[in-house]
Chains A and B, each alone.
Chain A
Amino acid sequence: MDIQFPQILFQIINFGVVAGALTYFLYTPVKKVLDDRSKKVEEGQKAAEASIAEKRQIDELRKKIIKDAEKEAAKLLEEATQAATARKKELMAKAKEEATANAAAEQQNKMDEVAALKQTIKSQYADAVVAAVEKIGMSIDKKVQTQIIDSELDQLLQRIA
């Protein structure tokens, strides 16, 4: 083996030049590009994570709003149902009342009509009886006759009813 110090020195200088050139032209600029890219990727990742968190928050808010709206809707529905039930009861009661009143009025009308009819019949019947009695030459007290006829007619109408 031939160890030559000038050659060793030459190789040391040669290596030094290569190390310097590689550091200046290769390692530093490439590392800078890699670091910048890592930074960019990291920022992008952070932004993506922030977006995901924001989306999650929005989703939660949306769910809450929907839940609240559902609750509100249910409440409104309940109130509407209650109001409708109350209104229904009220209307039913009113209708019943009106119907009762109408029925009473109708009955009253009918009773009035019956009474009027009864009176007409009584009058006509009494007149007919008086006329018939007069025709056969007999005389009759119209007042007494009317009382008898009324009594008879009342019995007759009661039987009919």
Chain B
Amino acid sequence: MAAPLHISISAEKIFSFGGFPVTNSMLTSVVVSGLLIAFAVWVRATLKPTNRPTGIQNLAEMIVEALYNLVQGVTNNTEKTKKFFPLIATFFLFILLQNWMGLLPGAGTIGFKDAEGILVPYFRAGTADINMTLALALISVASIQIFGVTYLSIGYFSKFINFSNPLNFVVGLLEIVSEFSRIISFAFRLFGNVFAGEVLLVVMTALTKIIAPMPFYGMEIFVGFIQALVFAMLSLVLFNIATIGHGEEHY
């Protein structure tokens, strides 16, 4: 008889490091970070000022150029693009790899059994952990405020605190609420999509074992890409809006 399905909405603790609990999503995060940094170092070490790039340099150039053009297409301002690009590109690559790591064979299936006999996998997609998505959402929303203040100085806060008339004051309060709601929407959109995808795959695999889950794997690869793009694009648009003064917005 097949083992009963166990789905945990939270990341599971694998071990403790100096009293600090290390979860499987944190381990995946560290692995993804290591892979990204190793890739970057490899690219840096083999980078040549050639007109005909090959291999890893070709791939790196393609990724950097595509993401840079994406950012430039939204900002239409080279100065802003240079400031936003590193963060947006890292959001995209980091989230994309986190999403896809959860689809690799072994993720969610190789682990150890805890005291209750429940499998605790060593790897779980980082974005299938609310702590990770909250962290990303906090970085994004904090960056929005930082960019807003950088470009508009103290005037940026006039959209939150405005005593010019009662209506503007109420709108300012709503803006404050909307900033906080962004954290929740960023975090839960990404977490919900990735976690739901993992649950779907677990259920389909438990039901049919082979062949039938494959289309869902394909779909999850696509969803992983789309969610990374959505997070990066939303952050980019909000960065850009934050840098445009009151009454200057162009939608």
Contacts and interface: CB of A to CB of B under 8 A. Distances in A.
Contacts, number: 112
B contact residues, range: 35 or more
Contact of A25 (B21, B37, B49): B37
A80 B177 CA distance: 99
Contact of B29 (A1, A11, A22, A37): A11
Contacts of B44: 25-26, 29
A22 B51 contact: no
B112 to A, nearest CB: 19
A99 B90 CA distance: 110
A34 B64 contact: yes
A1 B130 contact: yes
B86 A14 contact: no
Interface of A: 1-4, 6-12, 14-19, 21-27, 29-31, 33-34, 36-37, 40
Nearest to A23: B86
A3 B51 contact: no
Contact of B61 (A4, A17, A34): A34
Given A11-B131, A22-B93, 13 more contacts: A1-B130, A7-B129, A10-B26, A15-B136, A18-B36, A21-B36, A23-B90, A31-B68, A33-B48, A33-B49, A33-B57, A34-B61, A40-B51
Contacts of B39: 26
A27 B64 contact: yes
Interface of B: 9-11, 20-21, 23, 26, 29-30, 33, 36-37, 39-41, 43-44, 47-49, 51, 53, 57, 60-61, 64-65, 68, 85-87, 89-90, 93-94, 126, 129-132, 134-136, 138-139
A84 to B, nearest CB: 65
B26 A7 contact: yes
Contact of B30 (A7, A12, A14): A14
Given A1-B9, A11-B29, A36-B49, A22 B89 contact: yes
